[in-house]
Amino acid sequence: MLTFDDIVLKILAISTIFSIAAWTGFLPRRITRYFIRNRAEETLQVLSSLGITPDKYLKENLAKSVPSFVDSKEIENSLNKLLAKCSIKKEVGVGKIHQVKVKNYVDVMAMSTDAKNAEQLARHLTSYWRKLLNDNNVTVQNPKFDLVVTPKSGAPILGYEFAKILNVPFALHTSDHEKFTSQDPKLYFQSVFDSFSIPSEGSVALVVDDSATGGRKVLEAVSALRKCGIIVTDCLVLFEPTIKEVRRKLIEQGVSLHSIVKR
């Protein structure tokens, strides 16, 4: 008859065998991901019970690898000065679905066609991302990402420059149509995104744009990414218009909006 100690030893032995099989690649990838995720959750629970918050240290460590070009206290003022250079101070209509009138339209796309301006805007965005990672009062759901995504009809040059600074693969989302159709679901990413790098399922993407006026372009990109099995929970923009409730719309879809300034 097995004693309690015998049962515990058998359980530990089985657990060890599964661990070795997962680490050495003998288990199917799906089972390995499930196994590693559960082990990670157990580790996080133990650390939390000891009063240790792993997310805090993860953000701080990642922040060290992000360059800062603008003093954290001066980012907003510095960006506003840049945006003033591309502001159209006349009443115009903004929005494709639900148009609203604004008296100060900021044309970042036009400004970013100049190489120097594009770099300066991306440097402000990079500096702000570092600031967010260093701020324990700000929730960044996924501080580490594998891909930067920008809507093609947004500010693609800005997204490209940001990705280049952080040396992360870049993708453009084509929201108005698919480049081609295929019966193979594995080709869906390539049909709606322009990217040299094809991310694997479970990768994390950060959506980057100049602004999120109504949220339509961002949410379309988010939907397409999730259809590919890519995780996306954060959106980083230069400015956030206050004329529409875009932040609420994104939160309802599980996306946190991070903006340097509100206009």
Burial class, 97, CB count within 10 angstroms (exposed 0-12 / middle 13-18 / buried 19+): exposed
Contact present, 218 and 259 (Cβ < 8 Å)? no
Its pTM stands at 0.77
pLDDT tens, 150-171? 999 889 999 999 999 999 999 9
pLDDT tens, 188-246? 999 999 999 999 999 999 999 998 877 889 999 999 999 999 999 999 999 987 766 78
Confidence band of 179 (pLDDT split at 50, 70, 90): confident
What are the extents of the domains in the chain?
4-52, 59-262
Helices marked H in 140-197 — which ranges? Answer: 156-166, 188-192
Over 60: is that where the pLDDT of 20 sits?
Answer: no
Over 90: is that where the pLDDT of 258 sits?
Answer: yes
pLDDT tens, 74-130? 999 999 999 999 888 777 766 666 667 777 778 899 999 999 999 999 999 999 999
- H or E element: which one contains 205? strand 204-211
Q: Which pair of tokens denotes residue 136?
A: 């324990």
pLDDT of residue 44: 47
Domain 59-262 has CATH 3.40.50.2020: yes
Which among 200, 142, 197 is positioned nearest to 171, based on CA atoms? 197
Phi and psi for 256 in degrees, rounded to 5?
Answer: -90, 130
The number of beta carbons lying within 10 Å of the beta carbon of residue 222 is: 23
